[in-house]
Structure 1
């Protein structure tokens, strides 16, 4: 692939200080704007995170039947633990309690019996021969199971790669490499372990370091093979993850697709006054030198997290990534209502631009065996008023006059993401989906948020079906009201997990205590009060939730014992802590005891939380050239020694500090993990949570009387990534359930709405409320959808060798199968709403399957075409807009479903893409010539 064909090479960026013209494009790095240009901030103080109440108990001691058990007893921990220097010796004194039986096995990990010469022992030679056999098998077997067997399988079964790719579950390829054969017999390196060389898309290379038995796997001819394994104790992607048995050692990729000031400070510093991504986007669009939003965002997406980062995450003993994404990866609106002056407000984001980079993260995660929890981090109107919600300030999601309307939009975005990640090509890589991040329930209301969660759940499971293997886990956040507030929520549901974000940094306390002191509970360790406090504050709360709710994990936590750090509380807010923030914001000042204390705090936090994602992997440098919030950077901690080189060393840390034990036994109820009883929520429970909610905070009106949108807009389908032309597998079309074809929401024609991001304190409008605005349809499975034809207007597979029309049978199962269709990598998928008509199908040569209903002879008011009248009688509007040009990676396909009355159907709407009629070709007829009615 040439440089011009690779969309992921560093894009050419236009200097912000020069004129906006093609002549000024260059291959340099991001350049700050003109120093004379500034913009006053119009944003008020940004709220900080609210603390979550926690209980006071911890996980069980080693060698118990607790969820996390002992290190020695964990059957999947078959790689020796590393000491703090990365060696294979037994962990040093002072931490013996945390390792249970492992600490006593000194001879196994390098100790000496001291009896007689090593070479005189017969057992030595027998052991040496056995070791050679093991090494040979360790190299040959992975090559067979990871390379040969999957390729043989894919040759005989097109679906094999996406369901079971034959990856090895052992320690992987070790340090060996394996090759496959590409076009023309050329050998291509497709897998390797520790010490293997990785060649990136741009041709540069780096060495993969993984001492935990992990191996990467990437076969260009089988790009959706899920054979990789990050380490020996984590199942490969093509094997089932077992909650309660396998443990989440994860890290967030914060700041990559949702830009936060403390994570990417240099970008914010280059645009004075910008407090959030809304303001960043406006500023970059309105520079004196021209619109630089696309160039700046491309530069950031392409450089902030690279393939080396993902490889290092796997090499650090981690096994999950939590990936925050914005709703504008799908779409944003040009008009979200009028401001106080009556001017329309447009969302300024770089719509759809990040999607191809999201796909690249999926690709890299697959390559290194990492699972992904996709987290929808932003919401229309803002769910919390924080800078990482899209816009800081007001909460307009499920609050205020536009609360229901914004929730309608959010449901559409949840739906589009669900459809994409539920495709078999992605189910192993993205097995969990956080549908909204940190909604402030104390402001929104728990009943209101519960109703939204239930409505979203019903929509998701109507797409995926129920039971293990049917779509991702739906992840909800505790809303900072405590995990115990959600005990028993939606009992009988199918695979709902709950996420909590425990932070001492935002507890409102001064937290001046240092961490370079002997640890409470064990003076031979370091950390002062903080490690034991983490154990007592968090462990019991999460374990209780695992028993009372189901799958529970910490989606965020950090090493921050205070809120010190550059822009931690936003651009304009200072610190609430009385600690020495100059010290805690500058890691170059930290002595060894400080680093030991932070390491011990990290280990205690990991042990208490059980399943966790650290926030965040990387903090970018400020314009001063240093990391201003080092307590939040996992990668910097690995480099400098205050994060563990092996996360398993956290096991037993709380017990070593004398924390009380409150273990979880690892056994979830079957329905909680998609087993027996999943999807059987009691009708009485659902009846208590109507949608929309009966009341909305700050709206002073019933939820049914608030402004709403109408479900008449085109469906937006996220495009899959392109695959190599010689690939044996397809890449999906972005939409799992082809029968999910209800329109998306849009504004009601003729209605004027208040600014959906600034309406919280406004009175409820008197127009376009209640019955005046058509609500979004309830999720339902309708008939087989229409298929979008290829550009020449017909499907070649539907004609025999003589050119006669011979339609292929259609697949209509709502959950287990998918409609086969032909579509290019960059094409959208057209889906028409079929209303409530019989679903007997007549295929026509243009790719549209039409439900058969009795013809009518009513006149066509706008067209004399008999075909238009026939199609109208069938309940079909063929005013097809086709793909609307938009950002790369996102294709919008439009439809105007025919809302016909009992007497007559309205004529199709007209626009520049419309056709008032669409001829039908009977079976046996010759296909049309290319260029006829192709879209």
Structure 2
């Protein structure tokens, strides 16, 4: 696949000495470099303008565009159950016939069962004639049986059964469930977070009840999945699962005793985010799912990204065509993965999804709408195991960074080039559609965080335009959800490779906006040094930056990081690109060969000592980053070797093989004082007074749309869309069993007042391919009345409400 010419980076020469500032339309020499803002990947690669034709851009290329200390920045990458009686002594008979030993439980000493024992220090059988309590009573009534007596006894039994059922319902539906404003004796925001051992609380034993009635359980309980298969739940941290098909939106589940259940608010800054990415599932990547790509390495086109993978699969009708991707969705991540994640002490998952989960336009080869079906399954599984979701919009029209995980390897066409504004309009539509869905009360307690765009390449787009885009995204999300705690998701903004310090002062008094950073060390200067000599890197490199950002901006989360300390691994840099470590990397360099990657990728040969060092590296990273999502939960096997070829990137394999901690709380204090944020968030608003009061000066300075687009020109001269289309509302899940006719799954749209249409092409205007790269805008752009378009309005005019 031939790569188009490089799009020059629009950074001006007229920047202040202390803080560089971007002017999208300023002229700039293509050779301009700021020597003090370089990446460890070597200076020529800083803006990845030296890639040979056909070479893939690295997955992560972190341009160091802001000072964060004296050293260059590192590279960046892409409730318990209602229980049956434990024994006979908790029966209704013994509730009345309690001896002194049971007085604390029942506060009674009365015995009214002739078959029971007398409690006088030892248990003795009593004959009917010797019972001291019932003789007078028995003499009053005649012996023998009668229909009337049977009816009376039967009525009493029925009444008792009804009473027991009512009590169970009250206990289960009223007493046990948690309230957002209430508390529970076995939970709390972080009540026992300092306890690194197994929870001492008793786990539910709901498995003693008939299987049809089991809706919750803890460690050791048996779980039956939708397909009828079963497995045993393993969670040593006091977590409880909860799933009742008759009550599918119940949020009683709790991942661990030290994590709040879903129906309590998550206390950011108090309870750490300990999460993992589900990379490679709904957005495929060659190094995560190599077997999908290996089968089409000799095809034309070669499968190097999901675009070319989809083209190959569509042509491969003998093996199922494009539906092969759905088979991947079904098998790569399943319900058991969510159960294992909770059992690993993790409380969040970050799930990358592509825009084609919503729709595709003509000419785009992706499998449309199918990934959303499986994201709905993810919501159900996360709800069942008490795990919260960070939904990350990972792949955008035209590509926001030119890397393979954006959907198509090549040029950046979002906020860059002649189609940059049109693709941004379309991307904002998808952000709005997703926000409307996840802001519905049925989903808002599970999908609590929304990463609106993964790794937009700010050096090309320009930070000013990226801020404009983010502010418009913020407005759309808050229009869908409203303002305040529990009203829609926290909004996560990737820092766009501008550096955390360049975001200080942005989004002050915004309602729940956090920063996302992706620290990796594996794509910089390579070293053959062992893990044991590099254990101080996370603490000395990341911890202070995270603390400063949380103090000066607000919640700052490492959305991606891994255990890799070099770029070894199959397809890690991209298909066919080789590695820096072995001196075969296809771009930049030359890189000296440091030897073979085999010792770093063949985990079957790793010693106990090496595994221990990797675990210590992981603990140091967790400690320094504080709130984090490991990349990634699972790496698939190579179809050629039959094993994982990038083992340092797999959390689940690390658990199995012993180089990941079984209790992530062990990371607490590893970085000593550097890792403990104890200050106050300066601009983090949780919905109280002052929330969503962004200064008017900020809103006006970063109004949407931009006046110009990098490598495109003035916005008025570029192709744009019009908001007159029908909104492709996301579908809601369906449930096969429900005893409550009043249960509603929502309609995909939280705010009925949001009635603007979808952005679609203007019939009288001309457009380029959304993935065009460098090109001149169409001329003439439009004909007739449409030629004069007003782009100044930040919000589209209302049209007919979408059909829900």
Contact 1:748–1:773 (8 Å) recurs in 2: no
Q: Give the drift of 1:654.
A: 1.5
| Equivalences for residues 215-230 of structure 1 within 5 A | 215-230=240-255
Look up the match of 1:239.
Answer: 264
Q: For residues 346-380 of structure 1, what are the alpha-carbon distances to aligned partners after superposition, in whole Å with 9 as ceiling and x for unaligned?
A: 00111001111110011000000000000000110
| Equivalences for residues 214-293 of structure 1 within 5 A | 214-272=239-297, 273-287=302-316, 289=318, 292-293=321-322
State which of 770, 775, 782 in structure 2 corresponds to 1:768: 782
Instruction: State the SS of the aligned residue for 1:498.
Output: strand
Look up the match of 1:678.
Answer: 691
Q: Give the drift of 1:167.
A: 7.6
Flag the 1:167–1:201 CA change in 2: closer, same or farther, 3 A.
farther
Look up the match of 2:560.
Answer: 556
- Kindly indicate whether residue 684 of structure 2 is the aligned counterpart of residue 668 of structure 1: no
Q: Give the drift of 1:724.
A: 3.7
Separation of aligned partners in 1, 2:168 and 2:266:
19
Q: Give the drift of 1:43.
A: 4.7
Q: Give the drift of 1:463.
A: 1.8
- Kindly indicate whether residue 705 of structure 2 is the aligned counterpart of residue 705 of structure 1: no
- Kindly indicate whether residue 300 of structure 2 is the aligned counterpart of residue 300 of structure 1: no
| Equivalences for residues 520-919 of structure 1 within 5 A | 527-528=532-533, 530-577=534-581, 578-579=593-594, 580-623=596-639, 624-655=641-672, 661=674, 663-669=676-682, 671-699=684-712, 701-728=713-740, 729-763=743-777, 765-768=779-782, 771-772=787-788, 778-779=794-795, 830=803
Contact 1:707–1:773 (8 Å) recurs in 2: no
Contact 1:711–1:776 (8 Å) recurs in 2: no
State which of 433, 439, 447 in structure 2 corresponds to 1:422: 439
Contact 1:165–1:225 (8 Å) recurs in 2: no
Flag the 1:678–1:765 CA change in 2: closer, same or farther, 3 A.
farther
Q: For residues 167-204 of structure 1, what are the alpha-carbon distances to aligned partners after superposition, in whole Å with 9 as ceiling and x for unaligned?
A: 875379844333899xxx99421000000001011101
Contact 1:402–1:760 (8 Å) recurs in 2: no
Q: For residues 619-639 of structure 1, what are the alpha-carbon distances to aligned partners after superposition, in whole Å with 9 as ceiling and x for unaligned?
A: 000012010000100000000
| Equivalences for residues 355-504 of structure 1 within 5 A | 355-504=372-521
Flag the 1:830–1:781 CA change in 2: closer, same or farther, 3 A.
same
Separation of aligned partners in 1, 2:214 and 2:200:
15
Q: Give the drift of 1:612.
A: 0.4
Q: For residues 633-678 of structure 1, what are the alpha-carbon distances to aligned partners after superposition, in whole Å with 9 as ceiling and x for unaligned?
A: 00000000100000000111122xxxx7374215324752222211
- Aligned residue pairs total 629
- Kindly indicate whether residue 67 of structure 2 is the aligned counterpart of residue 51 of structure 1: no
Separation of aligned partners in 2, 1:572 and 1:652:
41
Flag the 1:498–1:149 CA change in 2: closer, same or farther, 3 A.
farther
Look up the match of 1:151.
Answer: 173
Moved more, 644-653 or 462-471: 462-471
| Structure possessing the higher relative contact order (Cα contacts under 8 Å, 6 or more residues apart) | 2
- For structure 1, the 5+ residue unaligned runs are 1-40, 58-128, 134-142, 155-159, 335-345, 516-526, 787-828, 832-935
Contact 1:167–1:226 (8 Å) recurs in 2: no
Q: Give the drift of 1:717.
A: 0.9
Q: For residues 793-832 of structure 1, what are the alpha-carbon distances to aligned partners after superposition, in whole Å with 9 as ceiling and x for unaligned?
A: xxxxxxxxxxxxxxxxxxxxxxxxxxxxxxxxxxxx616x
Moved more, 393-402 or 44-53: 44-53
Look up the match of 1:210.
Answer: 235
Q: For residues 550-583 of structure 1, what are the alpha-carbon distances to aligned partners after superposition, in whole Å with 9 as ceiling and x for unaligned?
A: 1111000000111110000110211123554111
Flag the 1:496–1:727 CA change in 2: closer, same or farther, 3 A.
farther
- For structure 2, the 5+ residue unaligned runs are 1-51, 71-100, 106-164, 188-198, 582-592
Instruction: State the SS of the aligned residue for 2:557.
Output: strand
Q: Give the drift of 1:773.
A: 5.3
Instruction: State the SS of the aligned residue for 2:214.
Output: strand
Q: Give the drift of 1:548.
A: 1.0
Contact 2:539–2:674 (8 Å) recurs in 1: no
Look up the match of 1:928.
Answer: none
Contact 1:173–1:191 (8 Å) recurs in 2: no
Contact 1:322–1:613 (8 Å) recurs in 2: yes
Contact 1:698–1:760 (8 Å) recurs in 2: yes
Separation of aligned partners in 1, 2:447 and 2:502:
28
Contact 2:719–2:766 (8 Å) recurs in 1: no
Separation of aligned partners in 2, 1:299 and 1:146:
42
Instruction: State the SS of the aligned residue for 2:215.
Output: strand
TM-score by length of 1: 0.64
Instruction: State the SS of the aligned residue for 2:685.
Output: helix
Flag the 1:283–1:535 CA change in 2: closer, same or farther, 3 A.
same
Q: Give the drift of 1:151.
A: 2.8
Instruction: State the SS of the aligned residue for 2:389.
Output: strand
Flag the 1:432–1:662 CA change in 2: closer, same or farther, 3 A.
closer
Separation of aligned partners in 2, 1:576 and 1:380:
30
Contact 2:59–2:405 (8 Å) recurs in 1: no
Instruction: State the SS of the aligned residue for 2:549.
Output: helix
Q: Give the drift of 1:149.
A: 4.3
Query: Superposition RMSD on alpha carbons, in Å?
Result: 3.1
Look up the match of 1:89.
Answer: none
Flag the 1:250–1:52 CA change in 2: closer, same or farther, 3 A.
farther
Separation of aligned partners in 2, 1:360 and 1:401:
38
Separation of aligned partners in 2, 1:162 and 1:724:
28
TM-score by length of 2: 0.74
Separation of aligned partners in 2, 1:678 and 1:178:
43
- Kindly indicate whether residue 174 of structure 2 is the aligned counterpart of residue 201 of structure 1: no
Flag the 1:775–1:645 CA change in 2: closer, same or farther, 3 A.
same
Flag the 1:538–1:764 CA change in 2: closer, same or farther, 3 A.
farther
| Equivalences for residues 349-360 of structure 1 within 5 A | 349-360=366-377
Instruction: State the SS of the aligned residue for 2:446.
Output: coil
Separation of aligned partners in 2, 1:599 and 1:763:
53
Q: For residues 250-294 of structure 1, what are the alpha-carbon distances to aligned partners after superposition, in whole Å with 9 as ceiling and x for unaligned?
A: 000000000000000001001121100011111111236486102
Which structure has the bigger radius of gyration?
A: 2
Separation of aligned partners in 1, 2:416 and 2:205:
56
Q: For residues 188-241 of structure 1, what are the alpha-carbon distances to aligned partners after superposition, in whole Å with 9 as ceiling and x for unaligned?
A: 210000000010111010000001111101111111010011111100000111
Q: Give the drift of 1:153.
A: 8.6
Contact 2:513–2:555 (8 Å) recurs in 1: yes
Q: Give the drift of 1:723.
A: 2.1
Separation of aligned partners in 2, 1:153 and 1:180:
21
Instruction: State the SS of the aligned residue for 1:250.
Output: strand
Flag the 1:594–1:488 CA change in 2: closer, same or farther, 3 A.
same
Q: Give the drift of 1:480.
A: 1.6
Separation of aligned partners in 2, 1:630 and 1:363:
29
Higher helix share: 2
Instruction: State the SS of the aligned residue for 1:718.
Output: coil
Instruction: State the SS of the aligned residue for 1:431.
Output: strand
Q: Give the drift of 1:767.
A: 1.1
Separation of aligned partners in 2, 1:780 and 1:174:
55
Q: Give the drift of 1:778.
A: 4.2
